[in-house]
Amino acid sequence: MNKDKLKIIGLNGSLRKKSYNGAALRFAQKNMPDNSELEILDLSKLPFFNEDVEAEGIPSVVSEFIDKLLQADGFLISTPEYNYSIPPVLKNAIDWASRDERMPFKDKWVALMSASMGGLGGARAQYHLRQVGIYPEMRFLNKPEVFIGSAHTKFDDAGNLVDEFTQKSIIKLISTLIDNINK
């Protein structure tokens, strides 16, 4: 990645290959302003957090993940809602990061979006994620809010975001994130 550009790290709360949240992140990645870039990290390789594993030594995949987070100027998280909350893969990633004394999320701006086939578009997951982000000291953008409800109608079969309102909402979210980082 080019050091002259702001580095945004994208985290997807879904492991599904045809994830709407992954598709939303890829749309964001293709539409980043010239002064920035989005790297989407794969959370599927992180082992479940376990203090016994931590005591034996941080797994290299976790160390590499945390190093990437530390290099970030900001974050874009897209997550589905599981049972009114965030998926375990996302919580696990945050838990691992929160154990590092360098606190990779501390005081860095975090923009949220969520996609769900339900009408609320993952709103409850976003609100719960804001609670989870207190200890790691994440700085969440309050607005704009991006809730992609009825996601199955907003993406085509190839995973492309085709809904113009949602496209504009994500571009505005990215722009606001970049503006806040640059302040």
Q: What is the pLDDT of residues 7-49, one digit of tens each?
A: 999 999 999 999 999 999 999 999 999 999 999 999 999 999 9
CA distance linking residue 102 with residue 116, whole number of Å: 33
Q: Tokens 């993952």 map to which residue?
A: 122
Domain 6-182 has CATH 2.30.140.10: no
Contact 166, 148 (CB under 8 A): yes
Q: What is the reported pLDDT for 60? A: 97
Q: Residue 136: is its pLDDT beyond 80? A: yes
More confidently predicted of 1 and 124? 124
pLDDT range class, residue 1, cuts 50, 70, 90: very low
Q: Where are the domains of the chain?
A: 6-182
pLDDT range class, residue 53, cuts 50, 70, 90: very high
Contact 127, 121 (CB under 8 A): no
pLDDT range class, residue 96, cuts 50, 70, 90: very high
> E strand or H helix at 112, and its extent?
strand 109-115
Q: What is the reported pLDDT for 3? A: 61
Q: What is the reported pLDDT for 125? A: 96
Q: What is the reported pLDDT for 4? A: 81
Contact 23, 91 (CB under 8 A): no
